[in-house]
Structure formats: C-alpha cells, structure tokens
Amino acid sequence: MDIANIIIILVFVGLVLILMLELLNRAILAIIGGLICFLTLKFIKGEPFSLIVSYLFGSPEDGYVNLHSILLIFGMTIIVQICHKAGVFKFIAFKLVLSIIDRTQYLLLILCTITLILSALLNNILTVMIVIPLIITISRILNIDPEPLIITQAVLVNIGGTVFAISSIPNILITNSANIEFNEFFLNVGILSIVIFIITVGFFYILYYGKINVPKENVKILKEFNPWNFVQNRSLLLKSATVLLLVIIGFTLIPSDVLSADIIALIGAMMLVLISKLDIDKIVQELEMDIFIYLLGVFIIAGSVEYTGLLEKIGIFLSNLSGGNFFVVILLILWSSAILSSTIDNIPITKVLIPSIDSITATFTGANKKLAYYSLSIGANWGDNLTPMGDNILVMNLAEKNKRPIRMIEFWKVGFVTTIIQLIFATVYFTLITNIIAGLIFLVICCLLFAFLSIWYISKQKGTTLGMTFQNISKKIFRKTNYPKSLKIKRTIKITKNEEPSQEEK
C-alpha cells in the first residue's frame, strides 16, 4: 500500500473518530478531510481536478448520483422549512392528539403515529425538535410523567426514517445509487417499517403497562389549547401543506426516468417560495448549510477511499465470509451497518458501504441486489439506538432544556432492547423472502417468545404469577366468546352459588 492510500484511509478513520468524540463541527471536519484527500490525490497521485468534481457530483457513468442526492436534499429542506414555519407539523400533531384525548389509553399510540409520520417526512433532528417539546408541554398540562413518552418517540424516530426513500439522507444516497424508485422503496422497506412500528408500539404498551396514567380532569384543560396558536397564517398553512402533498404525490406517480425526484422536489420548493410570499433572503439565511458542506466533504472522502481499493477489498472479505451465500450477505450487511451506525454518523457509513455492496453483489440478480441495499437502509437507520452515542443525545438535551431530564441509562436500556427486537424482525423478513418455510418457523418462534415474555413482564408488573396472568387472559377470552345459551346459564348459576355465603359463614 502506498503513502497516498495510507493518508486517505487515515483521513477516513480520523473523520470517524472525531465525529464520535464530537471534537469539531462536522461540516468543517468533512471539508478539512476532503481537502487533505484532494491534495493527496493531486500531488502524490497526480490526479486531475476533474476527479474531485466527479466525487462531488458524480459522473455521466453513474448518472450524477451525488448531484441528484444534493438537489433532492436541498429541495426537501426548503419545503420542510417553510412548512415548519407555517406550523403545519405542530398543528397536525396537536389536532391528532386532541382527536383522541378523551380515550387517554390511545395517547401513546397517537404520539407514536405522529412521530412516524413526521420522521417519514422530515429528518430525525427536526422531528425530535418538534415532538419532544410538544410532549413535554402536553405532559405539563396533563400532569403526567413525560419520560416514557419521550423515550418511545426517540426510539421510533429511526423507524420513520425508512418509510419513504426521502425519509433520511442514507435512503436518498442508497436509492439514487441503486436506481430504486420511490414506490419500490416504500413497498419493500416502507411497509416493513410500518409493520415493525406496530410491533414496537405493542412492545411499548407492554413495557409501560399501567405507567402512563392520565388524570381525566386535566384532559379538559388540554382541550382548551387552541392548535391554531401554532399557525402564523392560515393561508400559508394551506399552501405549504398542499405543496408538500403534491410533491409526495409527484414522487409516487412520476417515474424517475420522466422526472427525477430531485427535480420534483426543486419544482415544489420554488413554487412554495413564490406563493408563500415569505422573505426569500430570510429563507436562504435560515437554510442549514452545514449539512450540504458536510455532504460534499463526505463525498470527496468516500470517493477517495474507493480510489484506494479498500472498499473493494472489504467487499471481497464480506463475500468470502458469507461463502457467496446471498442470505448470509444480506444479514451481514444488516447487522454490520446497524452496529456501525450506532457509533458513527450513518451518512459516511452508508456512502462508504455502497461501493462495497456493489462489489459483493456483483454476481447477484437485480432483485437480490436491491434487497442488499434495503438491508443497508434498514441497518443504517435503525442501528442508532444500540449505543447511547447516536442522535439520542439531542433528545437528552431537549428534555433537559425543557426541565424534564431523562436518565441516559434508562433511555439506552429501552433503545437497545427495542433495536434488537426490530433487527430480529427485519431478519425474519429477509428469511421469509429467501426461504419461506424457514422464515415462517422463525416468525412463529419469535412471536411465541415475544408473547411469553410479554405475559411474564405483565405478571411481574401486576405482582401475580405467570400462571395467574395466563388464567386472567384465558378468562377474558372465555367471556368474550359467544357460548350456547345453556352454557351461559350454567356459568351464571355457578357464580351466583359462589357469591352466596355458606351457612357456616352466616
């Protein structure tokens, strides 16, 4: 290995370490790394500037994949920012909460649904910045402990990140690189995410059984909260929500060979800028430019790492490790990307793993190749909560800022267990696709284990034995069944007999 390759790999390792330790702003860090890579390639390898341009924006061979990604992120950022300014997300979220507030047992479910919807449309950071203060405000009015609600939303935000191809930056990078259509991604990963969301919410209901108690009298006060207080201008709200909806419909209906997603997003963004009549200078000023600078830096570093041939070697190593078995490759990608993204930002990880997956799946069919990318998307998005070093630090900060601090260990315990459950069910999904019988057996085992552990946990919470809880559940099922009339009468007689005190008791 020559000196240039060593420098480039050291830059990548340095980027990963400094990102982990949060020693420097990520945009500045990526640009410094990109600069070192550029200088190394220019002066040691004698490469032209055009190589760096191809790393930044892509080349005609790869269909300018990086440029498409940047434009899509840019367009969606503008739309989301104007919608956020118009109060669209807070208004819808609060309206949804008010719609179920009389049936307080659904509070957790509706908050989870709001988080899923928001994180499917926005990035995780903006989602938690909207949802966490909202939950704390609601909990102040309802006089409830917000900790379970905050923890659940912080965990679920990652699931929302895989609903659509535009839900997170790793998805945008993956779908653009692998030519995956918006609808295709939703059918293969989005629906799975919704199923896993339902399982996760079920898990939370069991975990927080009897712990989210809403005093009825406080519900009346919450009802006095006017959701229109989140809205600065009704007409802007309507315009923003319409454009957002039109853009999503555009992604769904227009094939990418007719009009690519980035152009649809840009048309929507420019339309909204013009019709919103907001101060354009202010919108541009408020754009978070650091994410674009960061992406450009990461593109150069990832391209340079690919130049060294290291990613191809990783691909060959993983391919050898799996013995060329497609199923093992999928699981390796799923679990390794989840573990890596739990400690490192998932954007560079995804960008670096894409070429490796390209080389591992070189011999696979088109459909199987896409499955490998789906597993990368799931792993890179869902792995965040395996360690306390992911985006969840922001949730901690927000909770503390709103005077409702959460213990990191409490958060991590729930996050870790939930992520493992989610990844196990994702493994079941991929098993089902590759071998339906083995997948079904695996699914039944997982469901039975999940049900047994749930009943054991509820019995522990109630202070009863496992057998008693089983009896209670079977009693509930028995009561709800329509039995023949005669049997009902017999049951009534038995109960009446039991209730009557005996002669001795009298």
Residues that bind another protein (CB under 8 A): 87, 104-105, 133-134, 136-137, 139-141, 143, 145, 209-216, 221, 224-226, 228-234, 402-404
Rounded CA-CA distance 122/106 in Å is: 24
Rounded CA-CA distance 6/3 in Å is: 5
Nearer to another protein, 63 or 227 (CB): 227
Nearer to another protein, 87 or 315 (CB): 87
SS (H, E, C) 375-413: HHHHHHHHHHHHCCCCCHHHHHHHHHHCCCCCCHHHHHH
Q: Return the DSSP state at 465.
A: -
Between the two ends of the chain, the Cα-to-Cα distance in Å is 95
Shortest spacing between CB 181 and another protein, in angstroms? 37
Q: Assess contact for 120 and 167: CB atoms under 8 A.
A: yes
Nearer to another protein, 43 or 228 (CB): 228
Nearer to another protein, 211 or 277 (CB): 211
Nearer to another protein, 234 or 277 (CB): 234
Shortest spacing between CB 338 and another protein, in angstroms? 33
Nearer to another protein, 93 or 264 (CB): 93
Shortest spacing between CB 402 and another protein, in angstroms? 6
Shortest spacing between CB 217 and another protein, in angstroms? 10
CA angle 399, 405, 407 (to 5 degrees): 115
Shortest spacing between CB 460 and another protein, in angstroms? 16
Residue 262, token pair as written in the block: 């980035």
Rounded CA-CA distance 94/92 in Å is: 6
Q: Return the DSSP state at 233.
A: -
CA distances to 12, 247, 267, 491 from 260, in Å: 31, 12, 11, 66
Shortest spacing between CB 406 and another protein, in angstroms? 12
Shortest spacing between CB 471 and another protein, in angstroms? 21
Shortest spacing between CB 270 and another protein, in angstroms? 24
Nearer to another protein, 209 or 450 (CB): 209
Q: How many helices (H) and strands (E) does the chain have?
A: 25, 0
Nearer to another protein, 78 or 134 (CB): 134
Rounded CA-CA distance 426/446 in Å is: 11
* Total Cβ atoms within 10 A of residue 468: 12
